[in-house]
Amino acid sequence: MDMVNVKINGIAVSVPAGSTILEAAHAAGVEIPTLCFLKDINEIGACRICVVEATGARGLVTACVYPVSEGMEVQTNTAKVQVARRMTLELILSTHEKKCLSCVRSTDCELQKLCRDYGVEDSGRFDGFRPEYKKDASAAHLVRDNNKCVLCRRCVGACNNQLVSVIGANDRGIDTHIACPFEKDLVDVPCVSCGQCITACPTGALTEVDDTEKVWAAIADPDKYVVFQTAPAVRAGLGESFGMPIGTNVEGKMAAAIRRLGVDKVFDTDVGADVTIVEEATEFVQRLQNGGTLPMITSCSPGWIKFLEYYYPEQIPHLSTCKSPHEMLGAIIKTYYAKKNDLDPKNIVVVSVMPCTAKKFEITRDDENASGYPDVDISLTTRELARMIDRAGIKFTELPDEEFDNPIGKASGAAHIFGATGGVMEAALRTANDWLTGKENDPDSFPEVRGIDGIKEATYNIAGTEVKVCVVSGVKNADYVLSKIKDGTAPWHFVEVMCCPGGCVNGGGQPIQPASVRNWIDLRSERAKALYGEDSSMTFRKSHESEFVKTLYDEYYTEGYGGKTAHHDLHTSYVARKKFN
């Protein structure tokens, strides 16, 4: 590899040829501020916050896109640079709605931090016409407030990276704003609700729909029995909201914090994941042995399901009919658990805490109501839970570790890895392999499906049958796989798809990390480590070994896996969707 020698603020550093000044500065331990730049998503040099002085360049250059050359010397904090950055910030503020006290991103806003760092206030120097925009709150998962938009286009880059591309820059000059084609509301375009645009946004212009007031009202209602459940990826991300290192598993503190909110029970969605696996593995084995539609594709990711319904509706028969884990657990709570505890399901409020904004849409779908009432009533993001904990005055980091409530308490190790790309596939293969071979096999027999690669393929010989599998994360990669299935060239029997790149650990509802972190640390890998670490420490690492699963099917789903009652409660259906309304 060819290397280039440069100096950043007098610090000598050698970097690969083709590196940008920003990358060279990072290698030298120097942080250059950015606003529009987001590695691999938005690299357009538009905002000019990252300008620096460099030898051989005419005037200031943008560090995020300007390449280094041999012998280049860069100064990142000269008077000229600081004046330019301050002016840029003042110009941004001149059209920015400055309601910072009530903004959900206050203290977690990249623009706010830059203004604080550079001592920039609303000077009035550039006062003039300020466009005013109506909020778009049409979608179930997201609110767009262009009055807080800085036109960085990071959200556009994230949407394009997901291949959905339902937002972009409309109009020109002072009237430029981010919106859907033809100024349609978000609910009227084929948005898949993944929320990747929210985690990319540096300000409060994009936020999830806040459902916390509904939860507070349910907790305060003496007639309501409030049950929380939390997805596996939440425990790997929630700690970041309280200053803990990325990838810290906070399962015990999370259960303790939720209990202190005043809820009736705290359950683990991972238990629902175990049930998902025994139902999904049953479905796969039946399709494999009886000539069913193959490849079978997993159905845990609602953003992915929505994408397929919009863009590949003819491939709906390939989808597993299994509900996602939180919907399954919601159904179990309002049927089995309700009967066991003499509770009326109409009075049970199931709140699921998810790393995902698409779950807010999913709970509104038809055929997600096993008891006659919605399986899940309210879906919160990891961020919303963090805000509830803050509002309640709970000192999260000082809490003791507590366990989830029984009888829906302990999940298997296989369920914990659901939050990482490849986790659902590995969990399903652990169970299917044991069933097809008639013996207990090593749970670590499928390492090829692990890792953050967007597409992973493997072939396993299971009981004399060559089983070809594919694991996909990110909608762009899913589109490629679906095109292979559509044209008949797909060799696979079983496909896992996660809408968000890297899986649920990188979901649109996870804690937002600034670009200064995201550009240099792989959040997907760090958060996934927490889940695989939990799996490896478990006594039972296969879903069919779960004591709760055994009890559930012995006592309630007595026809067995995939039986009539289980199918009624735990399986769902899909619809072809119009791309534009």
Whether residue 185 sits in one domain with residue 232: no
Residue 100 placed within a domain: no
pLDDT at 578 over 90: no
Question: Residue 147: which CATH number?
Answer: 3.30.70.20
Checking if the pLDDT of 555 tops 70, the result is yes
Domain match, 55 and 125 both? no
Whether 267 is covered by a domain: the verdict is yes
pLDDT value of position 410: 85
The Cα–Cα gap between 340 and 348 comes to 13
Three-state DSSP state, 277: helix
Distance CA 47, CA 459 (A): 47
Q: How many domains does the chain have?
A: 3
What pLDDT, on the 0 to 100 scale, is given for residue 580?
75
Q: Indicate the burial class of 343 (C-beta count within 10 angstroms; 0-12, 13-18, 19 or more).
A: middle
Q: Specify whether the CB–CB gap between 110 and 202 falls below 8 A.
A: yes
375 shares a domain with 252: yes
Instruction: Assess contact for 559 and 565: CB atoms under 8 A.
Output: yes
* One domain for residues 182 and 268: no
Q: How confident is the model at residue 409 (pLDDT cuts 50, 70, 90)?
A: low
Nearest to 41 by CA among 148, 163, 173: 163
Q: Give the domain CATH number at 65.
A: 3.10.20.740
Q: Which of 208, 236, 263 is the last residue of a domain?
A: 208
Measured over the CA atoms of residue 210, residue 225, residue 349 and residue 341, the dihedral's sign is positive
Q: Are residues 204 and 249 in the same domain?
A: no
Same domain, 499 and 558: yes
In a domain, 99, yes or no: no
For residue 479, CA distances in Å to 198, 300, 307, 487 come to 22, 17, 9, 12
Handedness of CA 15, 18, 20, 23 (dihedral sign): negative
pTM of the shown model: 0.96
* pLDDT of 474 strictly over 80: yes
Q: What is the mean pLDDT of residues 419-430?
A: 97
Q: Specify whether 384 is located in the same domain as 481.
A: yes
Q: What is the pLDDT of residue 361?
A: 98
Are 511 and 383 a contacting pair, CB within 8 Å?
yes
- Nearest CA to 64 among 114, 19, 12, 106? 19
Query: Residue 123: is its pLDDT beyond 80?
Result: no
Same domain for 514 and 472? Answer: yes
Strands 265-268 and 225-230, sheet pairing: parallel
pLDDT in tens, 49-80: 999 999 999 899 999 999 999 999 999 999 99
CB-CB contact of 347 with 223 (8 Å): yes
Cα–Cα distance for residue pair 497/455, rounded to 1 Å: 9
Residues 204, 228, single domain; the answer is: no
Q: In terms of residue numbers, what domain contains 16?
A: 3-77
- Which of the listed residues 161, 176, 208 is the one where a domain comes to its end? 208
Q: What is the dihedral of CA 161, 167, 172, 177, to 10 degrees?
A: -110
198 found inside a domain: yes
Cα separation of 142 and 500, whole Å?
Answer: 16
Q: What is the pLDDT of residue 579?
A: 82
Domain boundary among 149, 182, 208: 208
CA distance 478 to 484: 10
Q: Are residues 193 and 72 in the same domain?
A: no
Cβ contact 266:255 at 8 Å: yes
> Are 314 and 454 contained in the same domain?
yes
d(CA 24, CA 31): 10
Query: 269-290 and 547-555 are packed helices; what angle lies between their axes, rounded to 10 degrees?
Result: 70
459, β-bridge pairs: 468
**Which CATH number belongs to the domain containing residue 461 in this structure?**
3.40.50.1780
Question: Do 369 and 454 share a domain, yes or no?
Answer: yes
| Cα separation values, 530 from 249, 420, 451, 476, Å | 5, 10, 13, 26
Question: 92 lies in a domain?
Answer: no
Q: Is residue 84 part of a domain?
A: no
Helices (H), 341-422: 358-362, 382-391, 413-416
- pLDDT single digits (tens) 432-456: 999 999 999 999 999 999 999 999 9
Question: Per-residue pLDDT averaged across 370-396, rounded?
Answer: 98
| Short-list 313, 356, 350, CA closest to 332 | 350
In a domain, 28, yes or no: yes
Angle at CA 506, nearest 5°, toward 505 and 508?
A: 115
Asked if the structure places residue 124 within a domain, the reply is yes
Q: Is 142 helix (H, G, I), strand (E, B) or coil?
A: strand
Task: Measure the CA–CA gap between 422 and 399, rounded to whole angstroms.
Answer: 32
Residue showing tokens 């797909």: 490
